[in-house]
Structure 1
Amino acid sequence: MNDTGRQSRHLGIHIDRTVGEVYAYASDPANLPAWAHGLGGSMERVGDRWVAESSPMGRIEVAFVPRNELGVLDHHVTLPSGETVHNPVRVIADGAGSEVVFTVRRQPGTSDADFERDASAVAADLARLKEVLEFD
């Protein structure tokens, strides 16, 4: 298939904490700066969205799905251009711990190098989430 706009990569990491603990922490947008460095150093609540003024991309808005019992952490990131990117994320049971799975979707027009860079950034964010939850 040549349609690069439909390519996805599922990145997961095991975290030695319960699903409830991981979900409670990761679903709180105020915690994003501690582990999702691509979204900036601070998040501020504005209505039902969270805004990062100082992200590497400029001002972005993040809107999570409502809290739920299924471990769904999907969120939309609205970029400075006005484009909105949907990010599917799940927290699932993995033995006594959890697995966090983030689906990186290749956006139309994204080069191979940029797609790899996006996936690497998400993998680094997941590693930081693991570090924060297991070692802090």
Structure 2
Amino acid sequence: MTTESMHLSIFIHRPCADVYTYARDPRNLPAWANGLSSAIREVDGRWVADSPMGQVTVQFAPANDLGVLDHDVTLPSGETVYNPVRVIPDGEHSEVVFTLRRREGMSSEAFRQDAEAVAADLARLKQLLE
């Protein structure tokens, strides 16, 4: 059960379609999402990532024209964490919004550290795409 959410966002001076296409490709995760993946490979049709939490699987929502980058991350424990993410057009630019959810039993400090990791990942995405 979610007890708290935080919305982290960043504006990127690139068209929404460019940002969405890059961020949605799992092969690009190690370049910008260090909080999730330092390496990733496709195994039997699933994306398996080496993460700070151990080996995880990542599954994105089906490709769409709405900028929905939601993805499930299945942790080594078997728990699946749903991560809502949107790429929102802003004229010729984009805003990426990540909804970070505090999981049951997660300390305030762990939630803060998660938020810092997501913010750093979004900053790397911006740096790569601008």
Range of TM-score over shorter length: over 0.9
Runs of 4+ in 1 over 3 A off after TM superposition: none
Matched, 1:78 2:74: yes
Match of 2:88 among 78, 88, 92: 92
Which ranges of structure 2 fall in alignment gaps of 5 or more residues?
none
Matched, 1:8 2:5: yes
Q: Normalising by the residue count of structure 2, what TM-score does the alignment of the two structures yield? A: 0.96
Q: Which amino acid aligns with 1:32?
A: L
- Per the alignment, residue 104 of structure 1 pairs with 100
Matched pairs, number:
130
Instruction: Return the offset for 1:46.
Output: 2.2
- Per the alignment, residue 65 of structure 1 pairs with 61
Instruction: Return the offset for 1:49.
Output: 2.3
Which ranges of structure 1 fall in alignment gaps of 5 or more residues?
none
Indicate the SS of the match to 2:95.
Answer: strand
Match of 1:45 among 42, 45, 54: 42
Q: CA RMSD in A?
A: 1.2
Q: Normalising by the residue count of structure 1, what TM-score does the alignment of the two structures yield? A: 0.92
- Per the alignment, residue 128 of structure 1 pairs with 124
Instruction: Return the offset for 1:96.
Output: 1.8
CA contact (8 A) 1:90 1:102 kept: yes
Instruction: Return the offset for 1:40.
Output: 2.5
Query: What is the CA deviation profile of residues 32-67 of structure 1, one whole-angstrom value per residue up to 9, with x for unaligned ones?
Result: 000000223211112442101x31111100000110
